[in-house]
Amino acid sequence: MERVMYSEIKSTPLVWGLLVLLGVFVAAAGAVVLYIEHHGHIVTGMNNQIVWGLPHVFAIFLIVAASGALNIASIGSVFGKLAYKPLSRLSALLAIALLVGGLAVLVLDLGRPDRLIVAMTTFNFTSIFTWNILLYTGFIAIVGIYLYTQMARRIPAHIVKAAGMAAFIWRLILTTGTGSIFGWLVARQAYDAAIMAPLFIVMSFATGMAIFLLVIMGASRLSGRVFGAELRTRLARLLAIFIAALLYFTAIQHLTNLYAAEHSAVEAFILRDGGIYTTLFWGLQVLAGGLVPMAILFHPTLGSRAGMVVLSAILVVIGGFAQLYVIVIGGQAFPLDIFPGYEVSSSFADGVINAYSPSMLELTLGFGGVALALAITVLGLKILRILPNSLSDVTVAENG
């Protein structure tokens, strides 16, 4: 079996240009944060009804994708599929980069981001948020160690495997924690479901794989290295399976809610009467983000074409984003049911569907997080030996 050779990508003008562009987005997000902190959240579109908005959708998407991006490394290290081993380093780097980007958006949207020290030192262990803080920081550390074991010389294979196993288990707990942020809320009809945690885990599989595919194909283009069709098709097929699993869990979530009379109102809202949320659910989440890419990727000829794989991956990312928008914001748009059976009205938006119009500030903050994640990835590829020299079909076949 050939030894896989990794090397840094060369600093071409394209790479520099990309970094400058990403830097502009990150700087813009920084300016937005200072503006929001000075003027208060009144300048955003969030209010007392829609408490968590677009920044939280971006943040949760990036965090969920981060844990999913680690999947590819886990398939190599934990499940022993040798063909995926050359991808492990990029998988670990991408996982860290996406998590840092997501955390940045989450932390900078706090009402008092200057009190981050308080959040890092005062813990309330009945709160899943507290556990998430520990899980997220621990993830960065564990995946960092895992990456180190892969890159350092003369580390025995069983140590690498142990680190990979630890990272794999940690990421499952982390995504469970992220899903439980919603699943453990009894107050709102759209949440309060045990299936939230498994749903988020499967969402991480799908979106993580999609983003990884886009990044590896982009990185190959950027560095002029070969990414063979064999490996690409394998990853694409895996993505199709993950999409199928995600559609299954989504179906179970909504079917169960429809059956329970107390939750049927929110289901009618999301599935039929919700306007933007209904459009996002059926159009972007199920159709464009689920059924279409799944059909493409399972198709024998379409699924092996590079352009179609890229398109499918982009659709899955959009679909995952739409799913989180429906969950996070749609779940808040639907009013709390404090007086079951009654029609309610008040001066505090009781009993009405809450409107939300995201501001440019929130979009800029969200994009800044994405840009940060991509910038860390590009820098990592440039500074460290992350990308294999060749992932052509010949090399992959030799690696087993």
Partner 1 sequence: MKIPGCGQTQKGADMHRRNFLKTGAALATISLAPGVTLMAMGQGVGAAANPNARWGLLIDAGKCPVDCSACVTACSQEHGWENTGLDTDPQWIRKVTVKDPDTGYTNSLPVMCQHCEDPPCVDVCPTGASFKRADGIVLVDRHTCIGCRYCMMACPYKARSFVHEPVTGQKTTSPRGVGTVEGCNLCVHKIDRGDATTACVEACTATGNNAMIFGDLNDPDSDISKALAAYPSIELRGDLGLNLGVRYQNI
- Give the footprint of partner 1 on this chain (CB under 8 A): 37, 39-42, 47-49, 51-52, 110-113, 115-116, 118-119, 122-124, 126-130, 133, 181, 184-188, 332, 336-339, 341-350
As measured in angstroms, the least distance from the Cβ of 124 to partner 1 is 4
> Which lies closer to partner 1 via its Cβ, residue 304 or residue 354?
354
What CA–CA distance (Å, rounded) separates 378 from 380? 5
User: Which residues on neighbouring strands pair with residue 388, listed in sequence order?
Assistant: 6
Q: Are 119 and 73 in contact (CB under 8 A)?
A: no
> Which lies closer to partner 1 via its Cβ, residue 185 or residue 229?
185
Tokens found for residue 7 = 């090397």
What CA–CA distance (Å, rounded) separates 150 from 9? 18
Strands 6-7, 387-388: pairing kind: antiparallel
> Which lies closer to partner 1 via its Cβ, residue 13 or residue 40?
40
> Which lies closer to partner 1 via its Cβ, residue 59 or residue 371?
59
> Which lies closer to partner 1 via its Cβ, residue 259 or residue 339?
339
Q: Are 93 and 381 in contact (CB under 8 A)?
A: yes
What CA–CA distance (Å, rounded) separates 29 from 369? 8
Residue 17's contacts (CB-CB under 8 Å, 6 or more residues apart) are none
Which segments within 212-304 are labelled E, that is strand?
A: 226-227
As measured in angstroms, the least distance from the Cβ of 184 to partner 1 is 8
> Which lies closer to partner 1 via its Cβ, residue 11 or residue 127?
127
- Torsion angles phi and psi, residue 349, rounded to 5: 60, 40
As measured in angstroms, the least distance from the Cβ of 130 to partner 1 is 5
> Which lies closer to partner 1 via its Cβ, residue 6 or residue 184?
184
Give Cα 290 to chain centroid, integer Å.
16
The alpha-carbon radius of gyration of the chain (Å, integer) is 21
As measured in angstroms, the least distance from the Cβ of 113 to partner 1 is 8
What CA–CA distance (Å, rounded) separates 284 from 317? 10
As measured in angstroms, the least distance from the Cβ of 182 to partner 1 is 8
> Which lies closer to partner 1 via its Cβ, residue 8 or residue 350?
350
> Which lies closer to partner 1 via its Cβ, residue 48 or residue 301?
48
- Give kind and range of the element (H or E) at residue 319: helix 306-325
> Which lies closer to partner 1 via its Cβ, residue 156 or residue 341?
341
As measured in angstroms, the least distance from the Cβ of 35 to partner 1 is 13
Q: Are 43 and 35 in contact (CB under 8 A)?
A: yes
As measured in angstroms, the least distance from the Cβ of 192 to partner 1 is 10
> Which lies closer to partner 1 via its Cβ, residue 188 or residue 237?
188
As measured in angstroms, the least distance from the Cβ of 178 to partner 1 is 13
- Torsion angles phi and psi, residue 354, rounded to 5: -85, 135
CA distances, 278 to each of 160, 196, 267, 284, 394 (Å):
46, 19, 10, 10, 47
Strands 390-391, 226-227: pairing kind: parallel
What CA–CA distance (Å, rounded) separates 327 from 320? 11
As measured in angstroms, the least distance from the Cβ of 180 to partner 1 is 11
As measured in angstroms, the least distance from the Cβ of 246 to partner 1 is 24
- 239, burial (CB in 10 Å: exposed 0-12, middle 13-18, buried 19+): buried
